């Protein structure tokens, strides 16, 4: 645990130190977020927060590779290098988008490329729980397809939620902290090596998000842009995917039944519940309105909260609270699986859905 904490602190420190330099670089490159109709900010803000995050992640992984505990296990360092390569690729696509405003198809191609790097490096989905009990081992084609889908949905979910100062980074930090605790607890519970790629990714992701937040919290001095949003989404997908390759699924099934086998896949989805809900609602809304799913609008959940009279800080704080409730209720379910905890998680999830529906409904009435 001490080595993980050092990795976390390195990620915080390096990202914090790099962010002002990346802000200056963005200004020189004229990579700034101009004020558009759908935006909340009122002045142009420089991008390239994602570059600082990538630098913090690289430093954290480098330190981890030199530590006796984390470098002792042959799978962690190679996997982290593969994930860093994929993160660099998707961050580069994001940087190009921040400068040149790429079209949606090009960005999707970049996400598929990053997912392909993960697959080639051996970081892909290996199994899924069977509804009838037990585990379904995936063949290569199915594993690749699910891996690409996971990267696509996670990257776009984080990108969609990145609409207010400090919102995306804070939500990712909260969700990653819960997933780190779960991944580490799982190694203790199953009595396996404490060094896993999933734990390393989530603690590193939490570190770079927190290191970046002081500059992005309201009023923001820099935006992460697509380079940061897609980077954080890819890391979240990679942490979930890597866990399936380093944890024995039969051990999960034996300890807590079918529920235990589902938790590694379900928990990241619940932890990022608000971004996923917002993304799917947006896709459904745009499709219903007869426009492409990637056409941006000003009807996301954070926009609705502002329209209801919330301040930026109030809206961000409310979404932080709901994220923490979702993420840590899922963690509670993972650690103490029982009918009672299942009921608690169901209540939390349903309450979140009701919160989203009522928020969108009330604002649409008042507009």
* Count of C-beta atoms within a 10 Å radius of residue 224: 32
pTM for the whole structure: 0.91
What 3 state SS string does 102-114 have? CCHHHHHHHHHHH
Residue 86: what pLDDT? 97
Looking at the DSSP bridge assignments, the partners of residue 46 are 32
Q: What is the dihedral of CA 106, 110, 111, 115, to 10 degrees?
A: 150
* Domain annotation covers residue 14: yes
- The answer to whether residue 316 is domain-embedded is no
166, 305 Cβ separation under 8 angstroms: no
Domain count, the chain: 1
pLDDT of residue 38: 67
Q: Which two tokens stand for residue 208?
A: 């770079």
Per-residue pLDDT of the chain (367 residues; tens, 9 = 90+): 788 999 999 999 999 999 999 999 999 998 998 877 666 777 889 999 999 999 999 999 999 888 877 766 666 778 899 999 999 999 999 999 999 988 999 999 999 999 999 999 989 888 877 766 667 888 889 999 999 999 999 999 999 999 899 999 999 999 999 999 988 888 877 766 667 888 999 999 999 999 999 999 989 999 999 999 999 999 999 998 888 766 665 565 555 555 666 777 788 888 888 899 888 888 888 888 888 877 777 778 888 888 888 889 999 999 999 999 999 988 888 888 778 888 888 898 888 888 887 877 644 433 3
Segments forming the whole domain that contains residue 271? 2-294
* HSE of 255, CA atoms in CB hemisphere, 13 A: 20
C-alpha 331 chain-centroid distance: 16
Closest C-alpha to 334, from 275, 274, 247: 247
Asked if residue 48 belongs to a domain, the reply is yes
Cα-Cα-Cα-Cα dihedral of 221, 225, 229, 232, to 10°? -60
Give yes or no for a cis peptide into 235 (omega within 30° of 0): no
pLDDT of residue 205: 96
pLDDT of residue 364: 42
Q: Which helix (H) or strand (E) holds 45?
A: strand 45-46
Residue 172: the pLDDT is 95
In a domain, 73, yes or no: yes
Q: What is the pLDDT of residue 367?
A: 39
Q: Judge whether 147 lies within some domain.
A: yes
Tell me the residue length of the chain. Answer: 367
- Indicate whether 301 belongs to any domain: no
Kindly state whether residue 132 falls inside one of the protein's structural domains: yes
| Residue 52 belongs to some domain of the structure | yes
316: three-class secondary structure by DSSP: helix
């Amino acid at each position: 645990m001490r080595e993980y904490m050092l990795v976390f602190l390195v990620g915080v420190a390096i990202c914090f130190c790099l962010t002002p330099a990346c802000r200056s670089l963005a200004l020189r490159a004229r990579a700034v977020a101009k004020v558009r109709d759908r935006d909340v900010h009122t002045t142009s803000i420089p991008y390239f927060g994602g570059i600082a995050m990538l630098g913090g992640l690289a430093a954290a992984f480098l330190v981890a590779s030199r530590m006796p505990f984390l470098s002792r296990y042959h799978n962690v360092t190679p996997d982290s290098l593969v994930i860093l390569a994929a993160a660099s690729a998707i961050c580069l696509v994001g940087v190009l988008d921040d400068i040149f405003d790429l079209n949606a198809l090009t960005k999707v191609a970049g996400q598929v490329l990053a997912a392909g790097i993960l697959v080639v490096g051996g970081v892909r989905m290996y199994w899924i729980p069977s509804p009838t009990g037990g585990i379904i081992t995936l063949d290569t084609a199915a594993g690749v397809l699910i891996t690409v889908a996971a990267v696509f949905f996670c990257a776009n979910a984080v990108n969609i939620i990145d609409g207010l100062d400090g919102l995306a980074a804070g939500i990712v930090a909260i969700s990653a902290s819960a997933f780190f605790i779960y991944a580490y607890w799982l190694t203790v519970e199953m009595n396996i090596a404490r060094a896993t790629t999933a734990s390393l990714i989530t603690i590193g992701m939490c570190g770079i998000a927190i290191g970046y937040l002081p500059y992005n919290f309201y009023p923001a001095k820099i935006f992460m842009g697509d380079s940061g949003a897609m980077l954080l989404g890819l890391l979240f997908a990679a942490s979930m995917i890597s866990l399936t390759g380093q944890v024995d699924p039969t051990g999960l099934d034996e300890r807590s039944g079918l529920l235990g086998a589902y938790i590694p896949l379900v928990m990241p989805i619940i932890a990022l519940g608000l971004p996923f809900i917002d993304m799917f609602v947006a896709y459904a809304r745009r499709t219903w309105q007869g426009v492409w799913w990637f056409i941006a609008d000003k009807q996301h959940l954070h926009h609705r909260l502002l329209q209801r009279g919330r301040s930026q800080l109030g809206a961000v704080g409310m979404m932080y609270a709901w994220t923490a409730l979702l993420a840590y209720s899922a963690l509670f379910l993972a650690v103490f699986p029982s009918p009672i905890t299942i009921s608690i998680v169901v209540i939390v999830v349903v309450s979140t859905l009701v919160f989203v529906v009522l928020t969108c409904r009330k604002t649409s009435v008042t507009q």
